[in-house]
């Protein structure tokens, strides 16, 4: 566990008018810490607070997908709240990743899985929010995971998540 548990950049949450649950963000941050993940991708088209808060709190390199971020909104927040952006958020290339959080996307989850699972390092993890993504796409993805024998678990942080592990 990190030392500053419970201290998220709440001024950013207000600025973004975020409805993100603090315990979900804390859970994702602690997952990154506990597993010593160093390369993290956050996909959150609908709420920039997720990537901003996680980048603020982790020592890992945080990446974004150009299709999954409102960069003008993030840049405006950086200008207004520079202290809340101590760490750079990087555009993802073909880097290997340790952790991927999908908090809300305009892309199909199955397409994202196909795109990013191969970029996961061994023992890497994907966390997909049930609250912010299509239930039918999640069901379809779970069927695919069962067929291919890929390890997964449905569990809770504050909200329900699908966790997929690459062995």
pLDDT tens per residue across all 167 residues of the chain: 556 766 899 999 999 999 999 999 999 999 999 999 999 999 999 899 999 999 999 999 999 999 999 999 999 999 999 999 999 999 999 999 999 999 999 899 999 999 999 999 999 999 999 999 999 999 999 999 999 999 999 999 999 999 999 99
Enclosing domain of residue 86: 10-165
Q: Is residue 140 one of the residues assigned to a domain?
A: yes
- For position 150, which CATH number holds? 3.40.50.150
Distance CA 15, CA 33 (A): 26
pTM listed for this prediction: 0.94
Concatenating the DSSP letter of every residue in 25-88 gives: HHHHHHHHHHTT--EEEEEETT-THHHHHHHHH-SSEEEE-GGG--HHHHHHHHHH-GGG--S-
Q: Is residue 1 one of the residues assigned to a domain?
A: no
Q: Is residue 40 one of the residues assigned to a domain?
A: yes
Q: Is residue 159 one of the residues assigned to a domain?
A: yes
Q: Is residue 78 one of the residues assigned to a domain?
A: yes
Q: Is residue 2 one of the residues assigned to a domain?
A: no
**Into how many domains does the chain fold?**
1
At how many degrees (to 10) do helices 71-80 and 49-57 cross? 50
Q: Is residue 5 one of the residues assigned to a domain?
A: no
Q: Is residue 131 one of the residues assigned to a domain?
A: yes
Edge-to-edge strand ranges of the sheet holding 160-165 = 89-91, 61-64, 39-44, 97-104, 120-129, 160-165, 152-156
């Amino acid at each position: 566990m990190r030392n500053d548990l419970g201290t998220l950049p709440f001024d950013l949450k207000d600025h973004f008018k975020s409805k993100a649950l603090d315990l979900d963000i804390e859970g994702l941050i602690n997952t990154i810490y506990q597993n010593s993940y160093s390369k993290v991708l956050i996909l959150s088209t609908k709420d920039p607070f997720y990537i901003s808060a996680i980048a603020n709190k982790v020592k890992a390199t945080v990446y974004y997908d150009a299709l999954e971020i409102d960069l003008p909104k993030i840049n405006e927040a950086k200008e207004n709240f520079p202290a809340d952006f101590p760490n750079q958020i990087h555009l993802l290339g073909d880097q290997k990743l340790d952790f991927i959080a999908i908090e809300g996307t305009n892309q199909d989850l199955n397409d994202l899985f196909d795109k990013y699972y191969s970029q996961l390092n061994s023992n890497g993890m994907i966390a997909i929010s049930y609250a912010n993504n299509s239930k039918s796409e999640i069901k379809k993805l779970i069927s695919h995971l069962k067929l291919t024998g890929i390890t997964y678990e449905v569990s809770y942080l504050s909200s329900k998540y699908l966790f997929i592990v690459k062995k």
